[in-house]
Amino acid sequence: MGRPKSYSREEALDRAIDVFSRKGFESASVQDLVTATGVNRFSLYETFGDKHSLFLEALDRYHAKRRAYTQALLEQPGPKMPLIRRYFEAILEDSMSERRLGCLMINATVELARTDPETAKRAAQHFNLLEEIFLKALCEARDNGEILTRRNLRAVARFLLNNARGLRVVAKYADDPATFRDILDLAFSVVEEKQFADFLEFQNVHSGN
């Protein structure tokens, strides 16, 4: 018999997120999703539509949860740079955990963004929103005297988020904590020290901007 309609849609989506994070969209079978969610095949299709529709809804829920987490973390009162660093520390902890699910949005972007407009749209919305949250925190950090750069803080936000995405990719093949620590420490030394202006100037010159 099928699972009663009283089951939690959110719970089913969270379990689908786990499946898609581990296997990706193409490799995740409908049976994988049935087993993980506890919803039989008929009810799964009736509730979510096809696998692609379920995937997009899982992406939406993942985005909402990550947005809420990031806002709750970075909008805490007090100095902002320790909170931003905590965001990165959480990535390291996840990368070193046994589950190593990684970031569903990054995984989806790498796998599907070039061929699936709906996934590409969600990825752009997700990363643009994270950029705005980081930008707000960095503006407060500069106002508080935590960072010295007079450069465009949007560039700083993009630099940090690019490093966050890079850490997630490195985690797919590396398991040495020192590797992650080196990336993290250098990224923050660039942002927090005066040479950041020189670093961005070097990037601008060599990128033709």
Average pLDDT over every residue of 85-99: 82
Q: Which domains does the chain have, with CATH numbers?
A: 63-207 (1.10.357.10)
Does residue 3 have a pLDDT over 60?
A: no
Look up residue 39 and give its DSSP letter.
-
Look up residue 172 and give its DSSP letter.
T
> What pTM was estimated for this model as a whole?
0.83
Q: In three state form, how does the secondary structure of 56-125 look?
A: HHHHHHHHHHHHHHHHHHHCCCCCCHHHHHHHHHHHHHHHHCCCCCCCHHHHHHHHHCCCCHHHHHHHHH
Average pLDDT over every residue of 93-113: 83
State the amino acid at position 83 in one-letter form.
L
Predicted confidence (pLDDT) per residue in 111-147, tens digit: 999 999 999 999 999 999 999 999 999 999 999 988 8
Band the pLDDT of 193: cuts 50, 70, 90: low
pLDDT value of position 2: 44
